[in-house]
Structure 1
Amino acid sequence: MTQLSEARPADLVLPPAFTGLLAASAVDAHDEACRLAQEGAEAGTLLLAESGGTLSLAVVLAPDEPLGGARRALFAGMWALIEAIGGFGPPEIPVVVSWPDTLHFNEARLAGGRLGWPEGCTDEAVPDWLVFSASLIASKRHAGDPGLTPDSTSLEEEGFPADLARPLAESFARFLTKAFEIWTEDGFQHLAGRYLDHLALPPQAREAQIVDDGSLRLTFAPGVTEDRPLRPALVQPAWRDPETGTVRL
């Protein structure tokens, strides 16, 4: 049986809408949060896990629109993750995102985001829940010589503070709250703009926009555009190692 323990207030200081849970080390935070959501866990349930050099968190969300548009919650989660990581890292190093959910730090892969929804839910139906989760490489000591995995980095390598799991989860929750406030009060495009500020674009692209279904629309010249759909990228995240279920080294 999966072991979960509700976080004590001293462990996680979260906004009022959140409930913190600590997972046993072997638990996949994303899958466990989806299971809890399926069983009726309330929105704001935030799961934190550490295992094998990986730091993971997952939060249950309560969408209020059909799945086709609700998937844009990924960008709220990614912006919150960007801001949380940026707040603890060296300020001169920017946080950069590859479309739509791979996070790079110091030009190397550090983390990735995922979005889960109920199996069988159609794009036209309002899902009972969503789960946004993130996995970060906390340490690469288990991977041997860093020169063997030059495309990735870790919190440890980049000089982030030790024991960052709880402070990062707390910061993420605060920024996620802010993200949905921006979406509600100012409109989705204001939130999308904050995400796009960190997005790596093809050098020929002149403009980028996230459209209603979450696709990325790139403009290369007047009348010359390209749409990159969101859903396929979420089904098979490019950053995720299918063998380990964590960020590819």
Structure 2
Amino acid sequence: MTASPAPDPADLVLPPAFTGLRVPATDEAFARARALAEAEAGEAAGTLVIVEREDVLDLAVILAPGEPLASARRAFLLGMVALVDAVGTYGPPEMPITLIWPGTLMFDGARLGGGRLAWPEDCAEAAVPDWLVFSATLLVSKAQWGDPGLTPGSTALDEEGFGPDIRLPLAESFARNLMKAFAAWEEDGFSGIAARYLAHLPAAVGARAGIDGNGDALLERGGATERLALVPGLTEPDWHDPATRTVRL
């Protein structure tokens, strides 16, 4: 498998556990990372794929889980926390960042992007998967799609006060936050990560909320418990437009 390397490796600064892989705009990070994970299994862990596409930030990271698939999928929620933290680092501080279960990221009430998760198709729920792939996509600009006012349900970084050339700094910040989140999970358990995720989930407001061992959200109100299943929204999320390979406008 070949990929287009960065012209200058120094322009992408990642934590030691990560290896950056820049690929052409014709690629999709989610698909490229899955193919690489399937071909190289554990040897590809830590690879961060970034697509050279200026209108979106399209990235994916290959993970090496250490627990059964049923519980390892909680890494998706951790990835979303890292993504929220990265966006919050560079965005205007007064703007709310919220999540629609499980992986749509909203910025000031409009759809900015989201996340996906892949795993080996033949992996049993009780088996430890050889790999997981977390992928995230954010709209950088909607200029090529016409008047942004015609698509008010979505937004882009350039509309929301983010600085120019934000793609790589956001990718670097995501990687750093992802490492910190995994360290917190390992040291203190998943409850802290769950609380950070749920703090951005409006559906949890007014409920006694938690994350089950399989990654489902449990929302208790008035003695009744609502379960939000994690798996259905991971591989074909509502925020993604397959035709444009980006965020649904």
Shared fold per TM-score greater than 0.5 = yes
Q: Percent same amino acid at aligned positions?
A: 54
The equivalent residue for 1:100 is 102
- Give the structure 2 partner of residue 149 of structure 1: 151
**Quick check: 1:213 aligned with 2:214?**
yes
Q: How does 1:93-172 map to 2 (within 5 A)?
A: 93-172=95-174
Question: Given the superposition, is the C-alpha separation of residues 202 and 17 from structure 1 closer, same or farther in structure 2, using an over 3 Å criterion?
Answer: closer
1:63–1:126 Cα contact (<8 Å) kept: yes
**Separation in structure 2 between the aligned mates of residue 12 and residue 43 of structure 1, nearest angstrom:** 18
Length, aligned pairs only = 247
Q: Which residue of 2 aligns with 1:200?
A: 202
Q: Measured at CA, do residues 52 and 175 of structure 1 come closer, stay the same or move farther in structure 2, by a change above 3 Å? A: closer
SS in 1 for 2:51: strand
Q: 1:202 to 1:163 in 2, by over 3 A?
A: same
Identify, as 1 or 2, the structure richer in helix: 2
State whether structure 2 residue 67 is matched by structure 1 residue 65.
Answer: yes
Flag the 1:126–1:247 CA change in 2: closer, same or farther, 3 A: same
Cα distance in 2 for partners of 1:236, 1:6 equals 30
Query: What is the CA distance between 1:187 and its match in structure 2?
Result: 0.5
Q: CA deviation at 1:4?
A: 2.8
2-side partners of 1:197 and 1:7: how far apart? 39
Say yes or no: does 1:243 pair with 2:243. Answer: yes
Q: What's 1:36 paired with? A: 36
Tell me how far 1:171 sits from its aligned partner.
0.6
SS of 2:241's equivalent in the other structure is coil
Greater mean deviation of Cα atoms: 189-198 or 48-57: 48-57
Q: What RMSD, in angstroms, separates the aligned Cα atoms of the two structures?
A: 1.5
Q: CA deviation at 1:236?
A: 2.1
1:2 to partner: Cα distance:
5.4
Q: Deviations over 1:70-118 (max 9, x none)?
A: 1000011100000001100001112111111000001100011011111
Q: What's the CA shift string for 1:7-60, capped at 9, x where partnerless?
A: 744121111111011111111001001111111142111011132622111100
Instruction: Indicate yes or no: 2:5 matched with 1:5.
Output: yes
Q: Which moved more, 1:194-203 or 1:79-88?
A: 194-203
Structure 1 position 244, deviation (Å): 2.1
Q: Aligned-pair distance for 1:235?
A: 3.0
1:24 aligns with 2:30: no
Query: How far is the alpha carbon of 1:6 from its aligned partner?
Result: 5.7
TM-score by structure 1 length? Answer: 0.95
Q: Distance in 1 between matches of 2:7 and 2:202?
A: 36
**2-side partners of 1:52 and 1:16: how far apart?**
26
Q: Per the alignment, do residues 20 and 228 of structure 1 end up closer, same or farther by CA in structure 2, a change over 3 Å counting?
A: same
With normalisation by structure 2, the TM-score equals 0.95
Contact (CA 8 Å) 2:3, 2:21: kept in 1 or not? Answer: no
- CA–CA separation in structure 2 for the residues paired with 1:90 and 1:19: 29
Specify every segment of 5 or more residues in structure 2 that has no aligned partner in the other structure, as ranges: none
Asked if 2 retains the 8 angstrom alpha-carbon contact of 1:62 and 1:130, the reply is: yes
Give the AA of the match of 1:209. G
